[in-house]
């Protein structure tokens, strides 16, 4: 037997890694569940039929994709796709300058860009990144994978969830070796859009030599011209990440983009795998960014925003639903669940989350363990039918959970689970 020992062979930071988890780790989709947990676009991609896609032909049995070209590697540069992304984000709302493909890195979702930036700027075992909880969990997961330290500066309290610029700037002045600041706007799970002036204050730090990374995964649900992507033409230390997973309803193709000054984009493109964007992904993304695809995306977005407004109006009228915590600039909402005494409560919220999934087939996301989110559920906006089913299920579930008390030992177990500390 070879003297292999995984515990001494693998890197210690990887052995200690807690992988990113989602609600579907607990509740698998059986085809009947209402999935309001992952902030997907419930109306689907901006493609009316498979015939819309390049290389698609119609056969007697229906549309079929021409696979004959798949023996060739995809375009490693994706210039045409990058130009479409530049056309979309050049609004001249923030600068007179125009984005070009030299400003872009495209990758496998935003996650590839998150990781690439860490590998580009952070020396393992020495450098650190700064994050502002509550925020997207993959920043810290990727940091640990790359053996990069973590500095946490919490957002200001709800409902604003604004950046504590004074604390961030102080950390950048006092804490050694911070190379990246990851900011999420609109925030996840907060749904709050960060103020442009706050981002500018960090970018203008007088002594810090590092990069501000602005994650705009949900920016298409925010007011028009909210995106700061074109601002990378003004700030050499700004990177703006985006994705087609959310408003475009294309989570399945895993297409993300990072806008940056050309020297930064050049570094990111130099370290990526040579053919990281497949032909199929490129074809679908190209159609989604065409005039026809954009028109359908915007129509689907309008339907989602109408359902978001419906949730905002209906949720406060349900007994046991507390305050909206955060903003309304995304396709999800963060609401408190209240105990029988009317207080936001993790035990109640966790029980509601579990019962919704287990007895009603409605999967949302429990966020109560995150900083400043006590008693909160994050609810993705669904279709009209899904929202109706959710509202009915939530009212019934809250009545059940806030009714007769459970056995003391069960309550103790639930409370321990609800309030467990998040890494």
Checking if the pLDDT of 19 tops 80, the result is no
Query: What is the pLDDT at residue 144?
Result: 92
Of 371, 369, 316, 381, nearest to 345 (Cα)? 369
Spatial separation of the C-alpha atoms in residues 111 and 102, rounded to whole Å: 20
Query: What is the pLDDT at residue 18?
Result: 65
> What is the tens place of the pLDDT at every residue in 290-321?
999 999 999 999 999 999 999 999 999 999 99
Checking if the pLDDT of 386 tops 60, the result is yes
Query: What is the pLDDT at residue 274?
Result: 86
Checking if the pLDDT of 202 tops 50, the result is yes
> What is the tens place of the pLDDT at every residue in 136-150?
999 999 999 999 999
Which helix (H) or strand (E) element contains residue 214? strand 211-215
> What is the tens place of the pLDDT at every residue in 327-374?
999 999 999 999 999 999 999 999 999 999 999 999 999 999 999 999
Residue 422 pLDDT class (50, 70, 90 cuts):
very low
DSSP characters over 40-83: --TT--S-S-GGGSTTEEEETTEEEE--GGGGSPPPSS-HHHHH
Rounded average pLDDT over 158-177: 96
Q: Spell out the domains of the chain, with CATH numbers in brackets.
A: 10-39+294-418 (3.90.1150.10), 73-289 (3.40.640.10)
Query: What is the pLDDT at residue 407?
Result: 47
CB 369 within 8 A of CB 419: yes
Residue 14 token pair: 């990887």
Length of the chain equals 423
Share of the chain above pLDDT 70, in %: 83
Residue 37 pLDDT class (50, 70, 90 cuts):
confident
């Amino acid at each position: 037997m070879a003297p292999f020992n995984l515990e001494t062979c693998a890197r210690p930071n990887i052995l200690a890694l807690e992988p990113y988890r989602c609600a579907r780790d607990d509740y698998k989709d059986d085809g009947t569940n209402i999935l309001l947990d992952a902030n997907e676009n419930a109306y689907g991609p901006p493609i009316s039929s498979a015939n819309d896609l390049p290389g698609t032909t119609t056969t007697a049995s229906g549309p079929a994709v021409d696979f004959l070209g798949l023996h060739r590697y995809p375009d490693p540069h994706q210039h045409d796709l990058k130009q479409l992304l530049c056309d979309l984000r050049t609004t001249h709302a923030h600068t007179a300058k125009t984005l070009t493909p030299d400003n872009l890195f495209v990758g496998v979702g935003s996650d590839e860009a998150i990781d690439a930036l860490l590998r580009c700027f952070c020396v393992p075992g020495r450098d650190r990144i700064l994050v502002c909880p509550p925020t997207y969990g993959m920043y810290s997961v990727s940091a640990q994978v790359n053996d990069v330290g973590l500095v946490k500066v919490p957002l200001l309290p709800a409902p604003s969830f604004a950046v504590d610029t004074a604390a961030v700037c102080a950390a950048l002045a006092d804490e050694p070796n911070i190379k990246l600041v990851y900011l999420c706007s609109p925030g996840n799970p907060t749904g709050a859009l960060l103020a442009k002036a706050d981002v500018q204050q960090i970018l203008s730090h007088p002594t810090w030599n590092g990069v501000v990374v602005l994650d705009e995964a949900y920016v298409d649900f925010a007011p028009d011209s909210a995106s700061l992507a074109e601002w990378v033409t003004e700030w050499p230390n700004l990177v703006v990440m985006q994705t087609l997973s959310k408003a475009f309803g294309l989570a399945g193709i895993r297409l993300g983009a990072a806008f940056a000054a050309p020297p930064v984009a050049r570094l990111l493109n130099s370290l990526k795998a040579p053919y990281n964007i497949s032909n199929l992904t490129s074809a679908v993304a190209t159609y989604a960014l065409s005039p026809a695809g954009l028109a359908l995306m915007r129509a689907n977005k309008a339907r989602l925003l109408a359902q978001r407004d419906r949730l905002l109006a209906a949720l406060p009228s349900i007994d046991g639903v507390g305050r909206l915590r955060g903003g309304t600039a995304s396709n999800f909402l963060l609401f408190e669940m209240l105990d029988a005494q009317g207080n936001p409560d993790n035990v109640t919220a966790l029980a509601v989350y579990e019962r919704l999934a287990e007895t009603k087939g409605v999967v949302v996301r429990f966020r109560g363990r995150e900083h400043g989110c006590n008693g909160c559920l994050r609810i993705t906006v669904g279709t009209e039918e899904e929202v109706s089913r959710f509202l009915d299920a939530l009212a019934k579930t809250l009545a059940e959970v806030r009714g007769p008390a459970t056995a003391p030992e069960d309550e103790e177990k639930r409370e321990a689970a609800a309030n467990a500390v998040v890494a």
